Amino acid sequence: MIRMIALGSDHGGFALKQDIMKWLDAHGYEYKDYGCYDESSCDYPEYARKVADAILGGECDRGILICGTGIGISIAANRIPGIRAGLCTDCFMAEATRLHNDANILALGGRVVGPGLAEKIVETFLTTPFSGDERHSRRIRKIEG
Ligand code: RB5
Under a CB-based contact definition with an 8 Å cutoff, are residues 43 and 71 in contact? no
The percent of residues above 90 in pLDDT, for the chain, comes to 99
Give residue-wise pLDDT tens across range 49-107: 999 999 999 999 999 999 999 999 999 999 999 999 999 999 999 999 999 999 999 99
Instruction: Show the ligand 1 pocket: residues with CB < 6 angstroms.
Output: 10, 12, 44, 67-69, 71-72
Domains of the chain as residue ranges with CATH: 5-144 (3.40.1400.10)
Least confident window among 6-10, 84-88, 141-145: 141-145
Residue 127's φ and ψ, nearest 5 degrees, are -105, -5
31-33 sheet: strands from edge to edge? 31-33, 5-9, 62-67, 105-109, 85-87
The CA distance from 62 to 11, in Å, is 21
Ligand 1 atom, smallest distance to 73 CA = 10
| Residue 70: per-residue pLDDT | 99
- Residue closest via CA to ligand 1's atom 8 equals 68
Mean pLDDT score across all residues of the chain: 98
- Residue closest via CA to ligand 1's atom 6 equals 68
CA of 67 to the centre of ligand 1 (A): 5
Task: Identify the DSSP state of 7.
Answer: E
Residue 133's φ and ψ, nearest 5 degrees, are -60, 140
> Of 70, 29, 30, nearest to 48 (Cα)?
70
| Residue 145: per-residue pLDDT | 82
Any idea which residues carry the catalytic annotation? 67, 100
Prior bond of 67 cis (ω within 30°) = no
